[in-house]
Amino acid sequence: LAVSVKFLPIVLVPLYWKRVRIRDGILAIIVVGLLYVPFLNGQSTPIGSLTTYVQSFRFNDPMFALLERVAAPQLIAALAVFVGLVIAVRLRNGSGVLSSDAFVWPIAGSLLCAPVVYPWYLLWTLPFLRSLSALPIIVWTVSIIPTYVVWYLRALGRPWLLPGWATLLEYGCVAAAGAIILWRRRSTEKPQNKTLSYKLKT
């Protein structure tokens, strides 16, 4: 049902594959279809302004802006969905039991490559932020707050443009959190490897 509000949760489909009864899946498709019926009046398309959104809307999109230099926006938008799907497939195949992390990383991966990343978009991740392994995303929900400065600057007559310092602060904090997670994992793996090698020698 979340897909009827925004297409972003569609990247979670692999997590439910063969885990949901066929009957329940068909029922969900029917309900979503019924929700779109009022918009099938010939004057609008079921996907609404999605095409205009991909072609024209830009905000807080460093990754999308970088890729847009070498590819069409429609292709990059498809890539954003593909990234989320790939992450979901890998997490599903890597564990028999789905944790909250399995749901938050596909969404975050797609958002990272999206043409628009408003602060409230990260609300989709909040229900799944239950462990420190998702620390970069937890930090992202806070470091994205300074992007609201655009609305203040716009009220002063400035262009609708995110200052460079806000982007650097936002994604720099996320990168730092990711580096901390990697460093902690490596530091905990080394003692285990030393212990294992010692046991093999003895």
- Which pLDDT tens digit goes with each residue over 141-193? 999 999 999 999 999 999 999 999 999 999 999 999 999 988 888 887 666 55
**pLDDT (0 to 100) of residue 96:** 64
Distance CA 185, CA 108 (A): 21
Are 11 and 110 in contact, with CB atoms under 8 Å apart? yes
Task: Pick left, alpha or beta for residue 60 (phi over 0 → left; psi -120 to 50 → alpha; otherwise beta).
Answer: left
Distance CA 21, CA 116 (A): 34
Interior CA angle at 63 toward 76 and 101, to 5°?
90
pLDDT tens sequence across 26-83:
887 787 777 777 766 666 555 667 788 888 899 999 999 999 999 999 999 999 999 9
List of residues 6+ apart from 4 with CB closer than 8 A: 31, 32, 35, 36
pLDDT tens sequence across 103-148:
899 999 999 999 999 999 999 899 889 888 899 999 999 999 999 9
pLDDT at residue 199 greater than cutoff 60: no
Which residue has tokens 């195949």? 93
How is residue 167 written in tokens?
């982007």
How is residue 116 written in tokens?
């628009």
Distance CA 178, CA 124 (A): 20
pLDDT confidence tier of residue 196, bands split at 50, 70 and 90: very low
pTM of the predicted model as reported, rounded to 2 decimal places? 0.80
How many of the other CB atoms lie within 10 Å of CB of 4? 14
Distance CA 184, CA 147 (A): 29
**pLDDT (0 to 100) of residue 21:** 78
